[in-house]
Structure 1
Amino acid sequence: MHLPPPDPARSPRTGYTRAHWEAAADALLAAVEPYATGDYALYHFPGSRESWSGRLSDGLEGYARTLLLAAFRRDETALERYANGLAAGVCDVWPRIEDRSQPLVEAASIALALRLTRPLLWDRLDDGVRQRAAAWLGDALTAEPWPCNWELFPVTVGGFLESTGHQPEASRKAIDRGLERIEQWYVGDGWYTDGAGRAFDYYNGWAMHLYPVLHAWLADDPDLLTLYGGRLEAHLADYARLFGGDGAPMHQGRSLTYRFATTAPLWLGALTGHTPLTSGETRRLASGALKYFLERDAVDERGLLTLGWHGPDGSVLQGYSGPASPYWASKGFLGLLLPPEHEVWTAQEEAGPVERKNAVTPFSAPNWLLQSTSSDGLVRLHNHGSEDVRYDPYYTRFAYSTITRPLDSPPDNAVVVGGDPRREGIVPLGVGEGWAASRHALSSGAEVISLVVADGAVEVRAHLVAGAAPGTEVQVTGWPPVEHEDEHGHEARTLRADLVPVYGLTGAAALSGVLGEVRDGPATLFVALARLTAEPDPLPLPELVSVEAQRMVSDKTQGAFDLSVRWRTGSESHFRFTASDERSATWSWSVKPR
């Protein structure tokens, strides 16, 4: 991919300007054209992998997701090809939109693209083509979506069809129904769960906010835009902290192969005027993410986006991931809807949150604690409130970062009780200044109460194991050590992962873990110090923090522990883990600041 020379005056941190985004979009669009069928209705990219929806659906996905890129680019030559493909596709080439089928997802991309480019594409079609296209899209209005972000796909299709006068009653019903359904998943502070449960990830930005805000903006509905725009603005205050100093997004959640689609909500805030970020900060974060992936093999020698994170990588894929799936990254080019003279393109880049100062930031809605250090640009996410409906290491680990990825064996950032590393049924117990806590159950019936306290790059991790048999082995693992080679022209650096036992544990290996065993009594406390840093010569952990744990025994609090944390800076924090017998068959476990 050939990009313009960097512009250090306007973009002193990334060198990227609007011209770089335009060049990247043009290159991606040019690269996919040879893989279109003769009628341009389907795009079949090379590779042996098919999604579970099959080759025909995957070909539709290739059309829909690259059309979205052409729409953001306003490329009239490309849009003419997509107009031809639309005319062919709705003549019994594309699969029908049925309940919980992948074409429902792609119909939303097509409808959004048509709505954004109506004078350039839709209005130039023959009336017969428009009628057939509206009929094909119309099935999305009544198709049953999966109960998650899919509820917004009929909303997006309905918004377009209503704007053209097609099926107005059915369109309005689909819009109202979808927007009403997502209300049950809004948990405050700009955060949604992606359906029932507590699945918090990037779908907040590239789906749960993107579709309602764009619908409100395109419909010119001030009340809706105030509602959904206000939520987006609140979300971006947290979201901006999820990017590392090198531009990397947090490596957490599913569908990570969409890569720089993570930038879509940043641009959306600027587009609609609902953002707490300055223009220079918005562009710095967005351009940083695009540059991060383009410089790390996201695009192969044919100019195609690969299925993976850097290069091809099956570990970040799901069953629905097909050859064209990465092109949801097209959402990252939303900023091209802003004209060249907009301040987001003309302002000088400003530092992102991780670059300005060290910070430990609580996110109350997902019950996360974000820990960032300006000296090495690393961001760490301490997860005490997010999980998927199934056991998934991209949701259930205690910690993630912008530079590491979950490992399987041994599992990183886990507590393993009696050989069981699974963390299911996560219950948030609170989050505050410098700390977060949660509880989870094990298949054996035991429970683990967990607390993290953080400052700078240092973490205190405490786990109270209750209900396990005496003698049960407990293993606490830390960050995976990762060596970064200078293979992309970047400065080589080595991450240091430390794990030091403090209470109830022995050993000193971060990934293989520190070990202990459950003792007699209702609960056993295990405490370790942890650190992930790229600083070359950090001080030993015991010189940065001291921890004292004391068991408290009384008639009402059998198995309670007091935990005191004293930092080298002089600040202190104190917590109490409590197991209270309420004269019933159950125990009540909690951890609170004191």
Structure 2
Amino acid sequence: MRDRPSAGLDLPPEDRAGAPVTGWTRRHWIAVADHLLASLRPYRSPFGARISPPGRGSWSGGDTDGLEGFARTAVLAAVRLAAGDEPARGSLGELADQVTTGLLAGTDPGGPERWPAVTDYSQQIVEAASLAVALHESRPWIWERLTPGQREQVAGWLGGTVGRGVRENNHVLFQAVVGEFLASVGAGHDRGEIEDRLDRIEPWYSGDGWYLDGPETRHDYRSGGPREFAVGPEAAYDAGRRFDHYNAWGFHLYPLLWARIAGERAGARAVLYRERLHRFLAQYRWLFGPDGAVLHQGRSLSYRFACLAPFWLGALDGATPLTPGQTRRLASGVLRHFTERGAPDPRGLLPLGWYGEQSAAAQVYSSPGSPYAAAMGFLGLLLPAGHPVWTAPEEPLARERADLTAALPVPGFLVHRTAADGLVRVLNHGSCYLTAPPAVERDEPHYARLAYSTRTGPVIGPEAPRIDNHLALLLPDGTATRRERIHPLAVTDRYAASWHRPLPPGGPVPGAAPPPVVSVSVPAGPWEIRVHGLRRPPGWGLREGGYALAAEAAPETVLRERPGAAVRTAPGANGPGLVSAVLGLHGWTAAEVHRRERANAFGHRCAVPLLVLPPAPAQVCDESSGQIEVVVGAVLLTGAPGAPPAPEVTVRVAGTEVRLAWPDGRELLVRPVLPWQAPVDRGPAT
């Protein structure tokens, strides 16, 4: 692992007395913020209304991309202004002047750097919300220093969001935030629209602090260029159950930012949002490793440490189950983790990617300015230097030094953490993102996999196969089926289960549509036991992938008997070495390793261990045949030193009943078929 942050980032000395876990203090946070802001100066337009770091552009076009870069870094500037403490270079006054100059240039309707007007469903609505947050949090520095005419000009551009059509997802919150800011400064707004946008997220609230990112049945999608949308009943499509980090940097962030702007007017809504945030943080905290690594699942992952926003809001609003010392320990751990792994990069920039640059991991709506949504991860600087979050000694998180399995039934996650290596794995039996029409193959690698972790990412790219952490039926030509809509069956601390209908590329094959696959995941030490019940059409094969390991150097391959396969990475820039392995326990007959290059956010070369079965013999295979095939395998991801031991689980299969037995006497009886019956769990916990 790197022992120092990115080049050019000057940090103060560590404080191991007050921060015994990370060594980082409020001064470290200010130093990182100053470094990010200073590094963007070469990419400002002449009048400052656009900030355009190098990189692949988005589908919205260069003008909107430049606005995005400005608006998101304006949030970081606003938080930095509120924090006080003069920077080592320049001054807070100069920073405020830069933001003000760019703001006025962008909102000048006749100026050479005017921002694109707000239109229905546009990215400008998103960036208007960032500007509203920035202006609210820096009122003494920017808004209150504008002349009446300048205020009218800025409000005029922001007011373009009022009455506009907005996407059926987290975007509804952006209109509420902008509208509330306009109301707070006496500008034109629509109170009914603000309330409506806040009301629209209520059906998406699913319990335990978790929101769906929009309804499961959506009625809007981009049908052509940046301004072409299909909207209405005829545009209905299944969008899936989208649970991801947007709960952190969207659904808990913007309602509480709205409440900060609304003040007393927020009333009962603010109370409700704080209660939900408290419940969310009680579960969300499990998705972070003790080393500061963050679960790599979902979209917009280039936002990186924006995932810290709800923890800071919990401290700001007294809505967190964490102590002040735990909040700082978690947040500083995450920021330090990224700075030691290439974010920011040697230029001081946050590129599209995870640690370094990996644009293939970013969605087409992301621009080089998109990663600066990470500014929301600095909201802790709104807390004064004397706040307990900054003064109380760091504390380990609850159960940080122990093995953990934790059920998150609403998103369908089973968290599986091992103390020996600090790895957090999330077994996914509920969250799925189905891409919008006109796409035919609608699975997304950051949602469709059986498992994710804090140290690995899925195989990605336009030609990426469905291979890692995926059970695929293989057509006679070798192409793999997709896991699209995931139907949760159960999530407990002991196991998680779901079913899906495997879909071939291009849609169902006439006369050969496979029946549903039932999958059950059972943690067993550092291993996960996977049980699948399925029916294969004649001539179709089967393949199960483990975790994809990626590094700059090619992972080493280790083949096993029984069958099995393992790959290993050496210790490197991203941390200690890892081992990913698969082991056939029943039904599997062979193993192999798949390799790819430039197809993973964690490194240029990746490898995936696989279990395989040859094509099924010719046989009748339909919904009523009753011929269910059961396969059982073990999947390992570990960073613990030494050779990984085999799982201490005995497997016996009789028909469709699978009996898993542990040395301590515990047994689990599983039937991976529909209709679903809950497994019988006997004996002590492991």
Q: Same fold (TM over 0.5)?
A: yes
How far has the Cα of 1:229 moved from its partner?
Answer: 0.8
2:188 corresponds to: 167
Corresponding residue of 2:548: 480
In the alignment, the residues of structure 2 paired with residue 280 and residue 593 of structure 1 have an alpha-carbon distance, to the nearest angstrom, of 40
Asked whether the equivalents of residues 359 and 456 of structure 1 are also in contact (C-alpha less than 8 Å), the reply is: no
Task: Letter of the 2:455 partner, please give it.
Answer: I
CA spacing shift, 1:421–1:537, aligned 2, 3 Å: farther
> Partner of 1:570 in structure 2?
665
CA–CA separation in structure 2 for the residues paired with 1:352 and 1:570: 31
* Residue correspondence of structure 1 range 71-470 to structure 2 within 5 A: 71-74=78-81, 75-92=92-109, 93-168=114-189, 170=190, 172-197=191-216, 198-220=241-263, 221-353=266-398, 355-390=400-435, 391-407=443-459, 408-409=464-465, 411-418=467-474, 419-443=479-503, 444=508, 445-446=513-514, 447-466=516-535, 468-470=536-538
Q: Note if contact 1:414-1:421 (Cα within 8 Å) is conserved in structure 2.
A: no
Question: Which residue is 1:504 aligned to?
Answer: 587
Q: Distance in 1 between matches of 2:320 and 2:62?
A: 40
Higher RCO by CA contacts (8 Å cutoff, separation 6 or greater): 2
| Alpha-carbon distance in 2 for matches of 1:311, 1:472 | 39
Counterpart amino acid of 2:192?
K
For normalisation by structure 1, the TM-score amounts to 0.92
8 A contact 2:472–2:502 mirrored in 1:
no
2:32 aligns to what? 24
Report the secondary structure of 1:381's partner residue.
strand
Higher normalized helix content (fraction of residues): 1
Q: Secondary structure at the match of 2:543?
A: strand
Alignment partner for residue 632 of structure 2, among 516, 524, 527?
527
Contact 2:518–2:673 (8 Å) recurs in 1: no
Counterpart in the other structure of 1:583: none
* Contact map agreement 2:581 2:609 (CA 8 A) in 1: no
Q: Identity of counterpart residues, as a percentage?
A: 44
Gaps of 5+ in 1: 552-560, 580-588
Instruction: Please say if residues 298 and 446 of structure 2, whose CA atoms lie closer than 8 Å, have aligned partners that are also in contact.
Output: yes
Matches of 1:118 and 1:539 in 2, distance apart?
A: 56
Give yes or no for contact 1:469–1:518 (8 Å, CA) kept in 2: yes
Q: Secondary structure at the match of 2:427?
A: strand
Cα distance change, pair 283–306 in 1 and its aligned pair in 2 (3 A): same
287-296 vs 28-37, greater mean Cα deviation: 28-37
| Aligned-pair CA distance for 1:593 | 1.8
The 5 A counterparts of 1:7-86 are: 7-47=15-55, 49-74=56-81, 75-86=92-103
Distance in 2 of aligned mates of 1:353 and 1:36: 44
Question: What TM-score do you get using the length of structure 2 for normalisation?
Answer: 0.80
Q: Secondary structure at the match of 2:676?
A: strand
1:571-586 → structure 2 map (5 Å cutoff): 571-579=666-674
Distance (Å, rounded) in 1 between the aligned partners of 2:172 and 2:205: 13
More divergent stretch after superposition (32-41 vs 94-103): 32-41
Q: Displacement, 1:80?
A: 2.0
Per the TM alignment, residue 591 of structure 1 is displaced from its structure 2 partner at its CA by 4.5
Higher mean Cα deviation, 318-327 or 440-449? Answer: 440-449
Offset of residue 522 of structure 1: 3.0
Count of matched residue positions in the alignment of Structure 1 and Structure 2? 569
Q: Distance in 2 between matches of 1:162 and 1:27?
A: 34
CA contact (8 A) 2:467 2:544 kept: no
- Displacement of 1:485 in angstroms is 4.9
CA deviation map 1:269-318 (0-9, x unaligned): 11111011111111111111111111111123332222211111123211
